Structure 1
Amino acid sequence: MNDVELYEKKYPEKWIVMQNKITQAFREMSIDEKRIIILASPLVRVNNATEKTPIEVASSEFAKLSGIDRNSAYKQMKSASKKLMKRTFIYEDKDGDDTEVQWLIRSKYADGYISMHFTDEVIYLLQVFDKLNPYTKYLKEDILNLKLTYSLDLYHLAKKSEGKGGFSMTLDQYRQELGTPKSYERINNLKENAVDGPIKEINQKTDIKITYENIKRGRTVTGLTFTVKAKPTKKKGQEGLNQNNEDRDIPPLTVKQIDRFAPLLANYSPFGSYAPSGKSTQEVISWLHTQLRDEAFLKTHKKHLLAIGYTFPKQKS
């Protein structure tokens, strides 16, 4: 059984999974082009697609998950697909040579859906995930309702670094990563449109919270340090969580409990988006052996621990 087959079993269609390289190829795309790639990506993975495989994205799903009017969804999809047909990106091949390829080799436009054929290089980015090809994963609903172009890009950056707690970049690195226009060389323009606005939207609509601080040389801002944290889930009625336990914090775990819950949590799919991306299961288990000693981690992931079998010690009467 190959890595892709193992991967398909672990992450079903509701998960968006992409090599980290692909987000760099997103530069300068419109938000609708990015949405199409995101919606198509699990279909490429679970169907073991090739260049000959048509990947169909329905306008009804595009409208529903993106929070846009259904009547305009098909027009937006068709326009975005036509742009993708003309787009190329450059990657370094196994010989170290820059190679330029198209995203799509064929598109078909029908009433209510578009059908696309991706190039082999794009398919590879959407199917192969290992140590040599680190990847990021998240749920569809956690990203597709973002409406600002740079919100999608910043979310990708944040999810890649969530397991580390955040990331830092110089201003030039950040501009290059997001593919911002020349006018964003002014820091006020950059922050307003590609930092503050996207952070506000991400914090309101997704599963993570981002804050940032300036990196300065003297009085000059030269970079940004972003802190990324998973939001604690406050929904009631979830598996293993009842009214009596909602206000209780999990006390420090014993070594025996950590040894028990680390592998269970690493293999619990609802926790998957919070684990470091691009890591093997064993590496995630090792990471969890440290995280499960942290009080804040226990508080944030109480619902996951309860779901995999943690029970509170009996309270003394």
Structure 2
Amino acid sequence: MKNGLVVKDNALINASYNLEVTEQRLMLLAIINARETGNGITADSKLQIHASDYMKHFNVDKKTAYEALKNAVDNLFNRQFSFREVRGGTDFIVKSRWVSRIAYATNEAILEITFAPDVVPLILRLEEHFTSYQLKQVTQLTSKYAIRLYELLIAWREVGKTPQIELSEFRHKLGVEDNEYKDMHNFKKRVLEPSIKQINEHTDITVTYEQHKRGRTISGFSF
């Protein structure tokens, strides 16, 4: 993987999904792999990720890398995401799996991924509205929420600030389930503030946030 450039359509950046850290990392490696093939990929292409790639980029030992790839076979196959798609003036909410096929070669520690049809254009056939960043910016982020927050924020890097994001929308984009961290104190303590701390310590951006209220209730955040 030569330059480690992650590129996603903004529809995918702003999608709602819940992937664990290892799953997000594997998806990022697969996206880089897809772009660096040089031949383009289709919904039938089989992309290989080696345990050595995972070890190298995320500075983990062999056992951790092998387990990440092996566990992904069951977990990633069942993961879904939702995103907005506008066609002919009609606004659709699309639900899709990340992969249509996944395989693991135990002896060689190779994960083989085939992206679902809806994913391919969101990582390859990009025109105007996309976000890119170097993989190294997120390799030290150990919170799944921190990785997602970083992606959401850098889509606004040139502007320097985000618009206000409604709380429910923000939670869904980060991958926080409806029954998780419902209390705002816990949400800040377990999700928001640790993510901002990791981003400020380990990436190329520095983040502060402002909370917005409707009456006495926090209704959203801007960054």
Instruction: Specify the TM-score bucket, using the shorter chain as the normaliser.
Output: 0.7 to 0.9
Which structure is richer in relative contact order (CA contacts within 8 A, separation 6 or more)?
A: 2
**2:34 — aligned with what?**
44
**1:206 — aligned with what?**
203
- 1:138 and 1:154 map into 2 onto residues whose CA distance is 13
Match of 2:158 among 141, 156, 163: 163
3-state DSSP of counterpart to 1:216: strand
**2:180 — aligned with what?**
183
**2:99 — aligned with what?**
104
How far did 1:114 drift?
Answer: 0.7
1:73 and 2:65 correspond: yes
- Residues 102-140 of structure 1 deviation map (CA, whole Å, 9 limit, x = unaligned): 322222212222111112221111102223xx1111001
How far did 1:155 drift?
Answer: 0.2
Instruction: Give the direction of change, closer, same or farther, for the CA distance of 1:82–1:164 in structure 2 (3 Å limit).
Output: same
- Residues 213-270 of structure 1 deviation map (CA, whole Å, 9 limit, x = unaligned): 22234543322221xxxxxxxxxxxxxxxxxxxxxxxxxxxxxxxxxxxxxxxxxxxx
Match of 2:52 among 42, 57, 60: 60
Instruction: Give the direction of change, closer, same or farther, for the CA distance of 1:94–1:218 in structure 2 (3 Å limit).
Output: closer
3-state DSSP of counterpart to 1:64: helix
- 1:99 and 1:200 map into 2 onto residues whose CA distance is 33
How far did 1:13 drift?
Answer: 4.0
Instruction: Give the direction of change, closer, same or farther, for the CA distance of 1:99–1:207 in structure 2 (3 Å limit).
Output: closer
Asked if the contact 1:30–1:80 (Cα under 8 Å) also holds between the matched residues in 2, the reply is: no
Asked if the contact 2:14–2:152 (Cα under 8 Å) also holds between the matched residues in 1, the reply is: no
Asked if the contact 1:66–1:146 (Cα under 8 Å) also holds between the matched residues in 2, the reply is: no
- 2:148 and 2:97 map into 1 onto residues whose CA distance is 21
Instruction: Give the direction of change, closer, same or farther, for the CA distance of 1:119–1:176 in structure 2 (3 Å limit).
Output: closer
How far did 1:22 drift?
Answer: 1.7
3-state DSSP of counterpart to 1:152: helix
Instruction: Give the direction of change, closer, same or farther, for the CA distance of 1:135–1:224 in structure 2 (3 Å limit).
Output: same
Asked if the contact 2:16–2:82 (Cα under 8 Å) also holds between the matched residues in 1, the reply is: no
- 2:82 and 2:222 map into 1 onto residues whose CA distance is 28
Instruction: Give the direction of change, closer, same or farther, for the CA distance of 1:33–1:221 in structure 2 (3 Å limit).
Output: same
How far did 1:26 drift?
Answer: 5.6
3-state DSSP of counterpart to 1:184: coil
Asked if the contact 1:64–1:70 (Cα under 8 Å) also holds between the matched residues in 2, the reply is: no
Pairwise CA RMSD of aligned residues?
2.1
**1:242 — aligned with what?**
none
Output aligned runs, 1:1-16, within 5 Å. 13-16=3-6
TM-score, scaled to structure 2? 0.85
* Rg larger for: 1
Unaligned runs of 5+ in 1: 1-11, 227-317
- 1:13 and 1:56 map into 2 onto residues whose CA distance is 17
Asked if the contact 1:183–1:189 (Cα under 8 Å) also holds between the matched residues in 2, the reply is: no
3-state DSSP of counterpart to 1:161: coil
3-state DSSP of counterpart to 1:209: coil
Of 23-32 and 85-94, more deviation after overlay is shown by 85-94
Instruction: Give the direction of change, closer, same or farther, for the CA distance of 1:169–1:102 in structure 2 (3 Å limit).
Output: closer
3-state DSSP of counterpart to 2:158: helix
How far did 1:45 drift?
Answer: 1.9
Which one-letter code corresponds to 2:221 in the other structure? Answer: L
Identity across the alignment (%) = 28
**1:215 — aligned with what?**
212
3-state DSSP of counterpart to 1:51: coil
**1:118 — aligned with what?**
115
Which one-letter code corresponds to 1:160 in the other structure? Answer: A
How far did 1:39 drift?
Answer: 0.7
Aligned residues: 213
Asked if the contact 1:14–1:139 (Cα under 8 Å) also holds between the matched residues in 2, the reply is: yes
**2:7 — aligned with what?**
17
Match of 1:34 among 24, 28, 33: 24
Asked if the contact 2:44–2:114 (Cα under 8 Å) also holds between the matched residues in 1, the reply is: yes
Asked if the contact 1:202–1:209 (Cα under 8 Å) also holds between the matched residues in 2, the reply is: yes
Instruction: Judging by fraction of residues, say which structure has more strand.
Output: 2
Instruction: Give the direction of change, closer, same or farther, for the CA distance of 1:174–1:98 in structure 2 (3 Å limit).
Output: closer
